[in-house]
Structure 1
């Protein structure tokens, strides 16, 4: 409603009143029209902005995005702790057991935890012991009364460090660990199940059943949430000293400990945009992984920053090889690339991820190493007069590297579905190279020649652009 319309309404309203009629068409009425118009304008803008927060695709506030994600039952990826190995030397005259769960401190007071138990003889140096940058933290919550769908939350600070979470209930019968069941599927009144929730307040929590689908923790019991807390993206260089701490501080005088490999490979929480994009297409399920898309989603959720990933099964494997082999029955194949990591490390990460799949039945898994197929290009062109040639070349290189290079994060957006074979893999297309340069708007004309470019034929073929072997020649008109 505009100001003139409001002014006319004010004038028409007061003309029917003998006292107020004298103010008709006065500056006072004009001021009231302007004042009311501003209020309506502000209210309309506020309502319009508030409306956008109601949709996860247009929301700008993180709390709105998290609220929409919670409505969909989505809980983002936890922190992935850094891992590595250590060597331990026994300086005493007796055999000492280095127990799993032993916490050690680095020079910057970061907690490193031993993941395996090893007996070490006097004077012996044990190498290759697996460690992780985690710290166990327990939070207890007393249950005053049985409550349907009781929800227990961690505080915001601890939530930001969660790498793993287990839940147990302590009652007269002792401490019993309850099982995560994301949808309370097949849960009965006696099923000791819970689901996880992530609130817009940046708090991770667990929710129990209502006595019909899922058991309620009894009154007087205690809910214990045991958190593996981690800093996530943490790196410790090789040969750094580690000191036993906490309950194991007495071992500091008899054990000489240092890491014999770099402690790394961690990753932080999802970003807001990751949560927005994942939650839009997330369908709540009970952790079962059946289809190829399920495996792809599951692995990408468990192993972040994979630049390239392919998953295929028996049918696709035999179509690719042209050979029917009984060893392919119920076998699922994986192939992936993560920047900065070897194929052995990527294989270990994927195997660790699929090792937590429930009810895997009789499926068998096989990792196939990436078959890298780099190609180069020769770019010649005429640049616009208002650009600097060196800067133009660098801008072209950066754009091509970002979209088609060895460590590009864009391969997930290039999935090509070949309906004739049902094969799904990332494929660089020649037209995409032209489009990427064209969008920069710095060239009058240009030409691209390909060197060594081949199509992805096998399911583990990883085609990418090698800029180190590419040439760029630009001139002015």
Structure 2
């Protein structure tokens, strides 16, 4: 990569070849040097872009590259809805039946769909109490009439306009329900299925096949109905907050009080950029199909990216650490830690992980291993200019390190993280202005721990960070200037 100085050196060599330009150059004429300096700066910036572009296929430093790669590998930007348990109290004198499929509103105006019917007893029996299970999901239909027909016809799915995310998609062609498939794997010619794919702008498309080759191709004037289930992903309704019916269907329902009792399953937002960048490191053949599944690590991270820590390993790695055991044969081991704000239980996550692995390959047994917490210890010794506030700079360094290597940081999710001195140096110098100053100095000492077990969850916290800051003045070459060092 060429810098501005490289181009200016070339300008100097060319300028000295001519008497007139040499005179202008030696005189420092701005009419000559300003224009040449601007051109050199522009070329240096362009050279930097070319350098980044050459490495981009391997580094994937740009978000646009990550999104495009994720789209090619079939990673879909959808959310999962939360499931809540609602306490219902019937204050009336007659039992009330509430059917499945009805909608409720929470205190924030979010819509929930009742999963199963329930009959609330009269107030004279069990105080009229009952429980309702509901999913934070609402369905919106869009219709599309085929004005043309060609193989692998794709329809863009309309994005929600209320800030929610798409969770599920159901497709009907002329009223007939089509089944979802993934990349048309194992699909016969004429089979009525559809495939969901995305692009680098996170837009979703419903794609059909070609009747004579694979899947089904709709004809002109066919009416395609796309029903989208929309949710708000990761939500945290307050315990005891009120719910209400979307519509009152009987007078007895006016006597029912609804309130939040428990969050049975937390919702999940679409995959974030940091997780996508990690998933894009895996080959594209590692999808959810057990035939091609070579990385259960990717499978679990794709489905449980909200966990603070997650590790999965096989019997070979297990027996290197704890020795051979016949019970380890054909077993996948996993360990995880919940984030600080989690309302889900460990048992719930265990069941979900076992289910995901079984759906991919039911020949494996699964075993949970309790994570081992290990703190990373960092000592930062720094000298900063007197113009900066020591306490403020110290707080900035602590916040920066916790954001990058703390318990809920992305870099610590895979466990056994090794924090390197050069990474911390670069991170602090780029983010903390006081330590980017040329009068400052920085020294970092890191203790990463020695435990090599796969279930080690290693991270930083406030107690494991030591900051020693010295406020230093500077000596000026100007007469009467300069400050003494202040400890």
State if a TM-score over 0.5 links the two structures: yes
- The answer for the alignment partner of 2:228 in structure 1 is 227
In 2, Cα distance between equivalents of 1:395 and 1:100: 52
DSSP-derived class of the 1:178 partner: strand
Match of 1:104 in 2: 104
SS in 1 for 2:295: helix
2:424 aligns to what? 436
Q: Deviations over 1:95-119 (max 9, x none)?
A: 4444443310123422122334434
Contact 2:310 2:337 in 1 (8 A): yes
Matched residues in 2 for 1:315 and 1:110: separation?
A: 47
Contact 1:82/1:264 (8 A) holds in 2:
yes
1:141 corresponds in structure 2 to 144
- 1:245 aligned onto 2:246: yes
Shift of the 280–107 alpha-carbon distance from structure 1 to 2, 3 Å rule, reads same
Q: How far is the alpha carbon of 1:462 from its aligned partner?
A: 1.3
Counterpart of 2:25?
A: none
Question: How far, CA to CA, are the matches of 1:273 and 1:91 in structure 2?
Answer: 50
Partner of 1:8: none
CA contact (8 A) 2:63 2:273 kept: no
Contact (CA 8 Å) 1:77, 1:302: kept in 2 or not? no
Contact 1:166 1:226 in 2 (8 A): yes
Cross-structure match for 2:153: 150
Matching residue of 1:312: 313
Unaligned runs of 5+ in 1: 1-37, 416-424
Instruction: Name the residue aligned to 1:3.
Output: none
Q: What is the alpha-carbon distance in structure 2 between the residues aligned to residue 458 and residue 428 of structure 1?
A: 14
Aligned-partner SS, 1:366: strand
CA contact (8 A) 1:158 1:229 kept: no
2:417 corresponds to which of 422, 427, 441? 427
- Residue of structure 1 equivalent to 2:193: 193
Does structure 1 retain, via aligned residues, the 8 Å contact 2:398–2:465? no
Alignment partner of 2:469 out of 455, 465, 474: 474
Q: In 2, distance between residues paired with 1:472 and 1:236?
A: 38
Match of 2:168 among 157, 165, 168: 165
- 355-364 or 263-272, which deviates more: 263-272
Given that residues 66 and 277 in structure 2 are in contact (C-alpha distance below 8 angstroms), is that contact kept between their aligned partners in structure 1? Answer: yes
Match of 2:31 in 1: none
The 8 Å contact of residues 79 and 162 in structure 1, kept in 2 or not, is answered as yes
Note if contact 2:173-2:223 (Cα within 8 Å) is conserved in structure 1: yes
Q: Equivalents in 2 of 1:177, 1:121: separation in Å?
A: 40
Instruction: Report Cα offsets for 1:50-89 as digits up to 9, x if no partner.
Output: x979x87789796x8766654x253433123344321112
Task: Using the TM superposition, give the Cα deviation of residue 132 of structure 1 relative to its aligned residue in structure 2, in angstroms.
Answer: 2.8
Cα distance in 1, alignment partners of residues 96 and 442 from structure 2 = 73
Partner-residue secondary structure (3-state), 1:410:
helix
Call closer, same or farther: CA 1:203–1:249 in 2, change over 3 Å. Answer: farther
- RMSD, aligned CA: 4.3
Contact 2:77 2:198 in 1 (8 A): no
Shift of 1:264: 8.6
The one-character-per-residue Cα deviations of 1:159-215 (angstroms, maximum 9, x if unpaired) are 9744422334355xx6434132x2212211132222112246653221111012112
CA contact (8 A) 2:425 2:444 kept: no
Cα deviation, residue 257, structure 1 = 0.9
- Establish whether residue 456 from structure 1 lines up as the match of residue 456 from structure 2: no
| 8 A Cα contact 2:167 2:231, kept in partner | no
Q: Give the CA deviation at 1:312.
A: 1.2
Q: How many pairs does the alignment contain?
A: 413
- 2:329 equivalent to 1:329: yes
- CA distance in 2 between counterparts of 1:469 and 1:61 reads 32
1:131 aligns with 2:134: yes
Retained in 2: the 8 A contact 1:405–1:465? yes
Partners of 2:152 and 2:455 in 1: how far apart?
46
Q: State the TM-score, normalized to the length of structure 2.
A: 0.69
1:374–1:463: 8 Å Cα contact kept in structure 2?
Answer: yes
User: Are the aligned partners of 1:318 and 1:325 in contact in 2 as well (CA < 8 Å)?
Assistant: no
Change (3 A) 1:253 1:344: closer
Does 102-111 or 266-275 show the bigger shift?
266-275
Q: CA, structure 1 residues 321+149, in 2 after alignment: closer, same or farther (shift >3 Å)?
A: same
> Secondary structure at 2:345's aligned position in 1?
helix
CA distance 1:427–1:290, shift in 2 (3 Å): farther
Cα distance, 1:376–1:76 mapped onto 2, change above 3 Å? same
Counterpart in 1 of 2:284? 283
* TM-score, length of structure 1 as denominator length: 0.70
Bigger shift: residues 400-409 or 156-165: 156-165
Aligned to 1:17: none
Measured in 1, the distance between the counterparts of 2:148 and 2:252 equals: 44
